[in-house]
Each structure stands twice: as C-alpha cells, then as structure tokens.
Amino acid sequence: MARRGKKKGRPVSGWVVLDKPVGMGSTEAVSKIKWLFQAEKAGHAGTLDPLASGMLPIALGEATKTVPYVQDGAKVYRFAVAWGEERSTDDLEGPVTRSSDRRPAEAEVRALLPKYTGIIMQTPPQFSAIKISGERAYDLARDGETVDIPAREIEIGRLEMVEHGVDRSIFEVECGKGTYVRSLARDMGRDLGCFGHIAELRRVEVEPFTPEDLVTVAELEAARFDGEEGSAATGATDHPADFSAIDALLVDTAVALDCLPQIAVSDDAATKIRLGNPVIIRGRDAPVEAEEACATARGKLVAIGAVEQGMFKPKRVFTG
C-alpha cells in the first residue's frame, strides 16, 4: 500500500507581527499562525515567555531566511517588578525562594538604573533555554537541580522608571539580543536589598517592526474565517478557503532587511542572482564593498549577499 505524503501548506511568505496574549507559549503561537495561514513553514524571531504579552514576530515561508536579522534587532519591554520576594523562575510562575519586609524608595531605584545601562554582564535565569552540557537549563531546574550558568555580556541602551509604588515599580527597557528581563528584576532586587521578581511583562517593540504592525489572534481569525461557513475552531468550510484578507495582514519579508544596504538590480540581473551567479552592480550610489547587502528588483526581494569590488555575490536567494 502506497504511503500518503505529508500534506504541504501554501507557499505564502511574510511576517506576522503577533500581539501574543498572556498564557500562550511561543511555539504554540507559531503553530497557531502556521495553521491559520496554512503555511508551508513558519518560525519566530525570539521567544516570549507564556506569562509575557506583546510583540512576537513570526516568519512565514521565505521570511524564515530573514529571522537572524530580526533576532539581532533591539527590543523594547515594559515591565513591572514586585518588590519583597524573589522567586525560582524570577517571575510569578515559581514559588518564593527569598523574601524581605524592606521596600525601596523611589530615589534608591532611580540611583540604581545607571548600573544596568550600557554593556553589562548578566546571568540568565535558572529557568531559561540556555544549554548546559547539552541540556536546557529549565529542564534541569524542573528536576530540582541548581546549575551554574555563566554570566554573559549584554547591552542595554535605555532603562527608565515609568512609575513607582510601595510594592512595585514599572520600567521600560531597550535592550539587545540575549537580555533576560527576569534577570534584570532579580538583580535589581538583590542590589536594593529587598528582592524582586517580574509581575508583568510586555514586549512593546522588536526592531524593525513597530506597534502599528501588531495584529491579534482574534483579528487573524476574523480575517481568515469571516464570511465562511464553518468555524474558526475547526477551520471547516463548505467551499475553498479565501486567504486574501488574512494575507493582507502580512508585513513584507524585505522589511526585516531594512538594516542592510539596498541595491536595485534589473530583471536580467535578478534572474542571474537567483541562479547563484554574481553580477556587476551599477549606479552612482551603489556600494563598492559591503559585507552584507540586499538586492531587490522592482521592489521585490531577490537575495542577500556581499559586495566585493563592485560585484554583488549572492549568499541567500529568495524566490520571485
């Protein structure tokens, strides 16, 4: 008996800038979006904890090739630190491990912020995806092990206190790749002698996307199923699916590469590039040398590559 092949999805490409709700994991979110779009492939650009909400960029199709560029982009978080308790997970999910009756004054907290601005060393939480001897730290922590996670260099461009109360303070931070906001809350609590943990966390921005790009699960479901018989819960319909409305909510793949020099090429050059061939680039503003650049034709993404001696050499090509 012949084996049935695995059903392939649509070759749809672009970014879904999801406003992830509290309680949904990042992997669950990717699966949901992949199903709604019936996409061939999908992936996210930076995990967001289930207890956190906000911007989770999800790449579909060809956009998955641009994930590293979004992962490297700056991120902005709004978060609340509850003073007086340190928890095993550094957020509300874990049990209390240390406590204090002391509460910090606003002036004390503000005076501490410069210590956490710039390039600093940070130790990730015990419950994190960091690999220790080939195993995830959170798996070891769930088994009751305390592991020695080495500190690593991170960059915090901005850390501001938005609001201060007796039992909690609200902050906004702009930070680079690899920063754990939970560690930030833990370390500030220790420095202030009162302990602390994350009580609320929302990712406001992931460069190059903006809050205007955000779309909710409900909005995606409405775009996908509005006007169709059946339900969003099952996806069952009595006629072929219409993806035009939901596809209109995608952010173009090329937006993720705004950080790279943009090189416009002709249709003939684009064809050669997509076959893996280098091409001479022309134009007064064309770079002579560039470690990475982005080639486009008629506004459509063609390839990522390097420019050497006035020649564009493709490294990763995109289908037309």
Which residues are tagged catalytic?
Answer: 49
Task: Please choose, from the candidates 10, 15, 3, 8, the residue with its C-alpha nearest in 3D space to the C-alpha of residue 258.
Answer: 15
How far apart are the C-alpha atoms of 129 and 50, rounded to whole Å? 13
Beta strands of 92-151 (E only): which ranges? 96-99, 118-122, 131-132, 135-136
Residue 296, beta-bridge partner list: 264, 301
Task: Please choose, from the candidates 229, 198, 288, 244, the residue with its C-alpha nearest in 3D space to the C-alpha of residue 10.
Answer: 244
Check the CA dihedral 29-32-35-38 and report its sign: negative
Residue keyed to tokens 């509290």: 22
Alpha-helix runs per DSSP H in the chain: 26-37, 67-71, 106-112, 137-142, 181-191, 217-225, 244-247, 267-274
211 Cβ contact list (under 8 Å, min separation 6):
55, 204, 205
Check the CA dihedral 34-215-169-122 and report its sign: positive
Gap between the terminal Cα atoms of the chain: 38
Half-sphere exposure of 5 (CA within 13 A, CB side): 3
How far apart are the C-alpha atoms of 262 and 294, rounded to whole Å? 5
Residue keyed to tokens 């994350």: 198
Residue keyed to tokens 């076959």: 275
